[in-house]
Structure 1
């Protein structure tokens, strides 16, 4: 994730404080979350024309669990790694991974540690880390995705892994000054980035071979899922859905359009759709304007579940933003929402996220 995008998301979150979040187990419209259909995508009843579909839907992963690639791998420590600090690279020696904090705005780092088979070392979590097995871990970030210094210090971490997407920086410096190893890793929001993150986090934890195994599995699973999606998605550009990603916190009046380098572009293209923001040359996150939305005129809009809930559901969003109502997606009420901690959390669950979104976009609901 680029530092510009991280800053935009953090700023948006600090104003929003996750206002108007949906209740657990609810969609953006407040209705119960549908259960996932576990049949292969090709066996589902598909929409004859994805552009003609009307009404919102929710993407639900078949399982939100993160399965370790191995259990309790043997570590080689100390590990000498490069920390990509915001003010420049520095060399860090990691010699104790008994108490780990892996924290970022999307929850990708904790999922990666878990996928490497070292989840037992985690002593806390960020707000976006919600997969099974982490429920009892204390949360060390606030609704604004800011680190709570007291909460972190109370956990006595021996290692902190982060990517610069949460702060404040002085908390991490305080930990370093007290002797805690703090490592900043690059975290590119893409499927290739998810595989590289597995390698980088594994190097920090002293299990490079396991990292290569996890990276290969992520890449293979994503490639297999994309191949399945390609079988059901329209082949021609004219028939492909024109899709945009809208980040919103309606209660605080925050609306961002995500473009290249945000992760949304990689997600949309993998879904066999056209990334309209990318086609228009938009980079990172851009505050939504009426003119931009009307110019883009998407067929479908991807949103986070808590985000659409904070706007009062689809009806509330269209009432508050008439420009969205004028788009094809608005006229068809075609929104697909997915849990905030999943939709852009590139990592071990990347293929599962893609699969769930494809089902919500191309297949009719079961029953």
Structure 2
């Protein structure tokens, strides 16, 4: 079966799923607010689906990175992709160039890249020595990870380093895919992957019920009890929540920062019906029992119902080629399959 045929069948399946779930949810009145307990959203396929099989890059190619620096890429046989979210690694794999990956970031956790060297073992910083040891032909990165001296050191060593936009939004997904594809010399595959992803995003949006009261959802970022944050405008989670036909609690309550430390006052003001969390974040505080001990949580509708939707850390906010699949899984977890 050709990649184009697989893409067409995949898009049709997502559209059909959207139609079926929407039909089942249309008569329900805010089913998301009536549920209780924890629901983990999972993807049907753990690995991204490549848009092509080992495409041949058209090189050399010269691009201007997000940092304003013009970079010429002449060889894509050994790719290192590193950002804070796993987006770039996921995109390289989905373009059909997964066998060329020699280095990835910690956030890229899908099975197909488990054997690829992790160049960000701490999760937030790179090691120049570790990357140079991989003899990369090109490095894809952004300012969400660093330190910048490492990326500059790689350039000084003669390695093409291409920076991409670090902002993660729903609207920016297609453009990010095409930018990565262009830098790697596979613009045709980039256009196809961007189109497929856009179709899947639109189909997933259709899963949200059109009637009833939209649920209010708060995205909580936690790493143990020492780091407990409530998301607001520009966090990335807000665009996912809106795409699910819901209201972002942090934004609606008047927060102005992307992330604000949780206080009883802020949480009670947000008054969410549902908490959205990363799975490891929820587990790091002791699950639902630990969550109930966070200030203000128990005083919210979501806290009283222990209503939490969680998803794997390396998937939820990646905003890569699987964004439509992420939205679909979240919609099913939030509203139910029927």
Provide TM-score, normalisation by structure 1: 0.82
Aligned residues: 317
Distance 1:234 1:240, change over 3 A: farther
Kept in 2, the 8 Å contact 1:256–1:288? The answer is yes
Match of residue 358, structure 1, among 326, 331, 336? 331
Among 86, 91, 97, the residue aligned to 1:112: 91
Match of 1:243 in 2: 217
- 1:216-365 matches, within 5 Å, as 216-227=195-206, 229-230=207-208, 233-236=209-212, 239-251=213-225, 253-279=226-252, 280-319=254-293, 321-363=294-336
**2:76 counterpart SS class:** coil
Q: Is the 8 A contact 1:187 1:194 kept in 2?
A: no
**In 2, Cα distance between the equivalents of 1:105 and 1:359?**
27
Name the counterpart of 1:123.
102
Give 5+ residue unaligned stretches, structure 2.
Answer: 1-15
Query: Which of 30, 33, 38 is 1:56 aligned to?
Result: 38
Shift of 1:364: 6.5
SS of residue in 2 equivalent to 1:160 = strand
How many Å separate the matches in 2 of 1:287 and 1:61? 30
User: Residues of 2 paired with 1:284 and 1:82: CA distance?
Assistant: 28
Once the two structures are superposed, what CA deviation does each residue of 1:230-286 show, in whole Å capped at 9, x if it has no partner? Answer: 3xx2525xx1100110100115x1012222222111100111111122222534222
Counting only pairs closer than 5 Å after superposition, residues 38-187 of structure 1 correspond to structure 2 as 40=17, 42=20, 49-85=31-67, 89-187=68-166
Tell me the TM-score normalised to structure 2 length.
0.89
Distance in 2 (alpha carbons) for counterparts of 1:148 and 1:142: 9
d(CA) in 2 for partners of 1:186 and 1:161?
11
Residue 228 of structure 2: SS of its match in structure 1?
Answer: strand
How far does the alpha carbon of each residue in 1:270-323 deviate from its partner, in whole angstroms, 9 at most, with x for none?
11111122222534222222211111010001000000111011111212x131
Which whole-Å CA distance do the structure 1 matches of 2:146 and 2:139 have between them? 12
- 1:23-57 C-alpha deviation (Å, 9 max, x unpaired): xxxxxxxxxxxxxxxx9363598676321211111
Q: Report if the CA contact (8 A) 1:188-1:194 is conserved.
A: no
Report deviation, 1:118: 1.1
Contact 1:70–1:117, Cα closer than 8 Å, also in 2? yes
